[in-house]
Amino acid sequence: MSFPYLFEANFAGGGAGEWDSESDTGALLDFPAYHELARTPGMGMPFRGAHCARLRLGDTNDHTLTAGAVNVSADGTFGCRFALFLGNDVAATADDTFNIFELQASATVELAVGLRITAATGAIEIGIGEVAPTAFASALMTRGRWYQVEVDGNLDDGVGDDGDANLRLAGTVVATIASLDQGAITDALLGTQNTLATTTGTILLDEFVADDERVGLLDPRWPVDVLLTKSGHAFVGPGVIENITLVSGAGADNVMELYDSDDAGVAKPFKARLANTANGEIVDPAGMPIEALVRGAFVSLSGTNPRALVKIKRAVAFGSEGAVRDYALRR
């Protein structure tokens, strides 16, 4: 297992910099901040942090992000998780089925998760298949809410067509496939492909991870003790931090820096810095708590395998979608 995953993307930088490549002919894929999303009534806030990926449906082009670090060998196990929000505006005037996630072997689709929209009823289903979804969850998807989507399974050994996979929502298996004929995985793709031009609306994606085993859920969504395994926002908006901790990995080069910011891409007031001197060292600061954060708590991590724990004492835009939206509208 890589530390902590084969690949992780939280969109904290407000762009696609974490990914190896982006396909977005038609410019329908972007990475808005929470205060931009809040201007649309009923739109979701990022699942965590300040930014997420937004896909606006309405053409037949690919709008995808590709990670080349997601490599799974023949007969290997895998696990992927991402957060998915279906906007209240998602609609189709013709039946449409399209992929939103794929595992590929040198551009050949070997596992896919997708959505099926029935025009007559407006029903949205999520499903899984080898090339496109063929096994669907029995319960319909609901617009206007976040889902945590997981895919885990075992890759074909290259001889017996014995690959299998589970599709999970909120940790519960909702569909399975088996007897898959697959090649070794070289890439993961997240985003929409081959949608009908008559399918419209907004989809949000956030908090993607992939590993060589099941990764599990981000639970709870609003933890008092926030664990970060890469740079990101512990929360946005005004708040007080009770304590911060650097959990060092390999090497004596681990650094954790805390800034009063809800935008990782601009100059930001510096609040604290922790650094280790030995492998595996746990570093706590003096001078806690950290009072009067105004914009938010952005944690920058560098070095070999660092982790950060942020213990939240108070935060205005935390605990619910409504709390984040209310602050965003008066930011």
Q: Residue 108's domain is classified under what CATH number?
A: 2.60.120.200
The answer to whether residues 228 and 98 touch, using CB atoms and an 8 Å cutoff, is no
* Sequence-distant (≥ 6) Cβ neighbours of residue 182 within 8 angstroms: 105, 110, 111, 130, 155, 156, 163
Amino acid identity, position 245: T
Same domain flag for 98 and 200: yes
Q: Please provide the DSSP assignment of 52-68 as one string.
A: -EEEEE-SSS-EEEEET
Predicted structure pTM score: 0.97
Same domain flag for 156 and 292: no
pLDDT average, residue stretch 102-115:
98
In a domain, 308, yes or no: yes
Same domain flag for 46 and 174: yes
In a domain, 163, yes or no: yes
Can you give the pLDDT at residue 268?
85
Bridge-based pairing state of the strands 225-228 and 124-129: unpaired
Same domain flag for 66 and 199: yes
The C-alpha atoms of residue 186 and residue 73 are separated, in whole angstroms, by 9
Same domain flag for 202 and 58: yes
Amino acid identity, position 164: D
pLDDT-derived band of residue 285, with 50, 70 and 90 as boundaries?
very high
Amino acid identity, position 119: A
Q: Is 324 helix (H, G, I), strand (E, B) or coil?
A: helix
Domain that holds residue 95: 7-211
105 token code pair? 């072997």
The C-alpha atoms of residue 129 and residue 175 are separated, in whole angstroms, by 9
Tell me which of 184, 211, 238 is where a domain ends.
211
Whichever domain contains 241, its CATH number is: 2.60.120
- pLDDT tens digit sequence for 187-228: 999 999 999 999 999 999 999 999 999 999 999 999 999 999
Bridge-based pairing state of the strands 7-9 and 163-169: unpaired
The answer to whether residues 83 and 165 touch, using CB atoms and an 8 Å cutoff, is no
Same domain flag for 204 and 260: no
In a domain, 1, yes or no: no
- pLDDT tens digit sequence for 30-89: 999 999 999 999 999 999 999 999 999 999 999 999 999 999 999 999 999 999 999 999
Q: What is the DSSP letter of 51?
A: B
Buried b (16+ CB within 10 A) or exposed e, 138-151: eeebebeebbbbbb
Can you give the pLDDT at residue 270?
93
Same domain flag for 60 and 30: yes
